[in-house]
Chains A and B, each alone.
Chain A
Amino acid sequence: MKKLINKPEDVVKEELQGIAAAHPDLVKVHFDPNFVYRADAPKQGKVAVISGGGSGHEPMHGGFVGMGMLDAACPGEVFTSPTPDQMFEAAKAVNGGAGIVYIVKNYTGDVMNFDMAADLARGEGMEVETPLIDDDVAVQDSLYTAGRRGVGTTVLAEKIAGAAAEEGRPLKDVAEIVRKVNANGRSMGMALTSCTVPMAGKPTFELGDDEMEIGIGIHGEPGRERMKLKPASDIVEMMATAVVEDLPFTRGDRVLAFVNGMGGTPLIELYVVYNELHKFLEAKGITIARNLIGSYITSLDMAGCSITLLKLDDELTKLWDAPVKTPGLRWGA
């Protein structure tokens, strides 16, 4: 294992110290239990939007804390859900009296830990909503699995829900916006290489030099199918077809197209992917009204990408365009 770290067991703590040192104008970091929160929290009368999950997906979630996005983020160990005490303490720190929205990605551990945290917060008199993100079309059989995973749409939901909360919308509305984004967003990912969890010290899975894994999750979980590497045009067609057919997206739709790097993918390749996606959607009569290209929901050092499409209407477009000022995403402010 080659990594720019000191000790594997200190990676999460030292990354958080780095965030605190780099962005004191935007965020503060609380240790033990660990959470990142807005420097100007709590915002009285504003719904607090909180998310969290295992570390290793940076900039998600800690990098999305700030004006117009998250009020707090709870980082777990690498690829491990955070714990209820983190989520509960984060809620107390940013509670502005208008309620808490926990944005939860659909993973067994995340769901159980956020459920326990929501119980704790309700016990303290807070109103809590826990909308779920489960947008990964790679999971075909939801009946005999833990259901679809939460992937790329999470980033979009955090931005859009954050904007809704910033506008002063009430708790139920903000939670409903998350559900609306989830209902209209679909994603699929692929990997060229495995990733290496620092504490494990070796790659999570083996992938031959001429192989790729389609339908990968964001934790190095194997995907739908392993196959020989193909040109980007074929790969994008495979992934985009699965995404488009699932919702389905149809002629005349306006979408936000999100091409995401898995952590070890150069931007030059992401633009090659975007170019293919643009052509693919144009041929289907689907208009890319907004886009996001870069590594925003990653899987440590994995090479690969994911494609997320979100069907836009005027409300979602306006909330997407609203100002945001976080370490990982900022415009208009």
Chain B
Amino acid sequence: MSIPYDDVVRFVRRYAEVIAENKEYLTELDSAIGDADHGINMNRGMQAALAKLDGMPGGDIGALLKTVGMTLVSTVGGAGGPLYGTLFMQMGMATAGKAELSPQDWSDALTKAVEGVVMRGKAELGDKTMVDALTPARDALKEALEQGASFGDALRRSAAAAEEGMKATIPLVARKGRASYLGERSAGHQDPGATSSFLLLEVAADTWATADP
């Protein structure tokens, strides 16, 4: 199966909804180890992205994702803006000109996205950042597809790996971002960036896996 343009639009819209629903939760996670704005900022950015969607000509998934990324860069601010902006822009560049995504296209897009986020934020696995959710999600997706799993199954395994990675940030001591200033005191709290990244992968699975036979 493959994902048509309209389903990618549904994915972006659903992510905006989920961010809005989790705005307070993300901000609460951020107030424990950061500066209490992650949910507020991501919501502002995704709402701005939604407003841009309406004016899009449609058909080009790469252009769609790139627009989302550029909108996030100019509206989110903080570290989340450049990081999520880079994530979506890299996905956009990896899918430029495509009217539909094959499972391999999505895997390639996620790989590029993770590469971009790592380059921009210079975080490594285990630093207690969004990379801790994204990296295992990318690997699980790749592995599932290599093993011949259905796309739906691969998406669910990818989301499950992101969730595991997110939960694994709880005991970690942060080494990047504002949480790193807490040192040992950052342990015991789930990373808000890893959480919003898990939500992204969960939305991908929820939106696309259901359409899978």
Residue numbers of A with Cβ under 8 A of B are 33, 54, 76-85, 107-109, 112-113, 115-116, 139, 141, 144-146, 149, 197, 199-200, 204-205, 217, 219-222
Contact = CB atoms under 8 A, between A and B. Distances in A.
Given A83-B77, A109-B82, A112-B82, A200 B31 contact: yes
Contact of B37 (A85, A115, A197, A222): A197
B93 to A, nearest CB: 16
Contacts of A139: 181
Contacts, number: 106
A80 B74 contact: no
**Interface-central residue, A109, A115, A141, by most chain B CB under 10 Å:** A109
Contacts of A33: 74
Contacts of A80: 35, 37, 41, 76-78
Contact of A219 (B82, B175, B178, B183): B178
A199 B28 CA distance: 12
Nearest to A33: B74
**Interface-central residue, B40, B73, B121, by most chain A CB under 10 Å:** B40
Contacts of B173: 144
A94 to B, nearest CB: 20
A85 B79 contact: no
15 contacts: A76-B78, A79-B36, A80-B76, A82-B77, A109-B79, A109-B81, A116-B73, A145-B174, A145-B175, A145-B180, A145-B181, A204-B36, A220-B36, A221-B34, A222-B181
Interface size class of B (residues with CB under 8 A): 20 to 34
B175 A116 contact: no
A33 B71 CA distance: 13
SS class, residues of chain A in contact with chain B? loop
Contacts of B121: 108, 112
A224 B92 CA distance: 42
A116 B37 contact: no
Nearest to B82: A112
A112 B183 CA distance: 22
A214 B172 CA distance: 24
A108 B176 contact: yes
A79 B81 contact: no
B207 interface: no
Contact of B183 (A77, A141, A199, A205): A141
Contacts of A219: 35, 178
Contacts of B169: none
Nearest to A86: B74
4 interchain residue pairs of minimum CB distance: A145-B180, A109-B79, A112-B82, A109-B78
A217 B182 CA distance: 11
Given A77-B41, A199-B40, 7 more contacts: A85-B74, A108-B121, A109-B78, A113-B77, A144-B173, A146-B181, A221-B35
Interface in B166-191: 173-178, 180-183, 185
Contact of A145 (B35, B83, B183): B183
A146 B179 CA distance: 9
**Interface-central residue, A107, A108, A139, A200, by most chain B CB under 10 Å:** A108
Contacts of B120: 112
Contact of A84 (B36, B44, B74): B74
A221 B32 CA distance: 9
B46 to A, nearest CB: 15
Contact of A204 (B35, B81, B181): B35
Contacts of B174: 145
Contact of A81 (B27, B79, B175, B183): B79
Interface string B14-45: 00000000000001000100111100110010
